[in-house]
Structure 1
Amino acid sequence: MRLNEITFTDAKPVEGYGPGFFRIGGEVIEGGVLTGPASTGPWGGFEDVDALLALSGVVDVLFVGTGAEIAHIPASLREQLDSAGIGVEVMSSPSAARTYNVLLSEGRRVALAMLPV
């Protein structure tokens, strides 16, 4: 039997974070961040809905990191993501980063939007 490594995405794992920043793929991003199969870049927070809706059909689940502590996302945001067929898991940003990295390493179709700690 021949085994081949399959890569489903060019997404990069979260390498680190600190007060007000994230490091992903060797790049430091100040403030909120959105990363997934296609790219990594700044995220404007819960009001930046269009960037999240663009993930429809591209990812199966979006992890939303709400900062140092877990918090609810706005109900309207959750409804829009649900309507677009994007599964949403909300947790603290450190937990979201760890979970994203694990599922990314398994080749899963995931994205991550985080607010800084």
Structure 2
Amino acid sequence: FNKGTAFSAGECKAFGLTGQLPYCINMLKEQCHCGYDQLCTRDSPLRKNTFLQSLKDQNWVLYYGLTSRHLKELIPIIYIPTWADAIANSSHLFCRSEGMYLTFSNQDTI
């Protein structure tokens, strides 16, 4: 459950988030507006795709809120051909690992 800075003061207290988030409350609509402004500063579809993937890793609610508000514009950035470009450049774009990497040769160390 992630609302970014959209948690109310009561929710922050209930979930033990007081002092862990900025004091101001920004609803999802405001967060989407700021996220879109940041996205627009990226100068290529691949950089926009990388920004969106990072956003998705950090805040799924904001990612889906932003993409649903700008779906027609972002579909080509999220999917083909930008995704093919991202795959081709994945070794240069790798940000963090995800999942488990199990190999037969390392089975005794697991």
**TM-score, scaled to structure 2:** 0.30
More helix, by proportion: 2
- Which structure would you say has the larger RCO, counting Cα contacts within 8 Å and 6 or more residues apart? 1
More strand, by proportion: 1
**TM-score, scaled to structure 1:** 0.29
Question: Rg larger in 1 or in 2?
Answer: 2
